[in-house]
Amino acid sequence: MNLIILIGAPGSGKGTQSQLMSNSLDYPVICIGDIVRQEMNSKTELGKEMIRYIETGDLVPSDLINKIFLNKFNSLRSSKGLILDGFPRTVDQAVFLNEVINGLNIRLNIFFIDVPDEVLIKRLTYRSRADDKEEIIINRLNTYNLETKPLLTFYKHLLNTVNGNDTEKNVQSKLIACIN
Ligand code: AMP
C-alpha cells in the first residue's frame, strides 16, 4: 500500500490537497477532522466526549483519535493507496502509526505543506467554520506549533516539504510529482 501523509497547519490546504490527490490517484482519504465533526453532529457518546476539545481548538486526546484511526485504517487495508489528512498530529500518534504499519507492505510518502503564519491567519479568518473564530484560530495555531510541529523532526529523514503558499493547482502538481 502507498500511504500518503499530509502534515500542515490549520489553513495550509491539507484538506483540499487530499481531495485533489484522492481524485487523481483514486485513493481514499482518512480525514480525522471530518470523522470528529460527524461524531459531534450526530451527538454520539464519542462525539459528546470530543466536543469540548474542538470548541476550544485543542487536540482531542490521542487514545480516542488512535482508535478512530485504527478502525478506519482496518476497513481500508486492502486499498492500493491511502491518504491521511490530519493524522498523525502528534509524535505519540506517529509512534502509534508506526506500530500499526510495522510489518505491513507499506510505502510511505510524507509531505509537509509549508505556509507562513500570516497567510494561515488570513486564510482561516476568511473561512467560516465554527472553530474558525479568532481566539480559537490562535489556539489552534499554538496547538499546531506545540504538538504537531515536532513531527517535522520525527519524520525528518522521510519528509518532503512543499511550498503551500501557491495556487491549489501548483501545490497539487508539486505533491503529485514527489510521490514515489
Ligand atoms: P481539522 O479539520 O483537521 O482541522 O480537525 C478539526 C479538529 O479535530 C482539530 O482542531 C482537533 O480538535 C480534532 N482533530 C483532528 N485530527 C486530530 C488528531 N490527529 N489528533 C487530535 N485531534 C484531532
Predicted confidence (pLDDT) at residue 130 exceeds the cutoff of 90 = no
The whole-model pTM stands at 0.95
Question: How much distance in Å is there from the Cα of 97 to the middle of ligand 1?
Answer: 16
Residue 134's pLDDT is what? 86
Q: Work out which ligand 1 atom sits closest to the CA atom of 14.
A: 3
| Residue range 136-148, pLDDT digits in tens | 999 999 999 999 9
Ligand 1 neighbourhood includes 10 CB (under 6 angstroms): yes
* Strand positions, DSSP E, the chain: 2-8, 29-31, 81-85, 107-114, 159-163
Q: What domains lie within the chain, and their CATH numbers?
A: 2-178 (3.40.50.300)
11 pLDDT tier (thresholds 50, 70, 90): very high
| Residue range 76-117, pLDDT digits in tens | 999 999 999 999 999 999 999 999 999 999 999 999 999 999
Number of H helices, E strands in the chain: 9, 5
Ligand 1 neighbourhood includes 11 CB (under 6 angstroms): no
In 3-state terms, what secondary structure has residue 147?
helix
**How large is the C-alpha radius of gyration of the chain?**
16
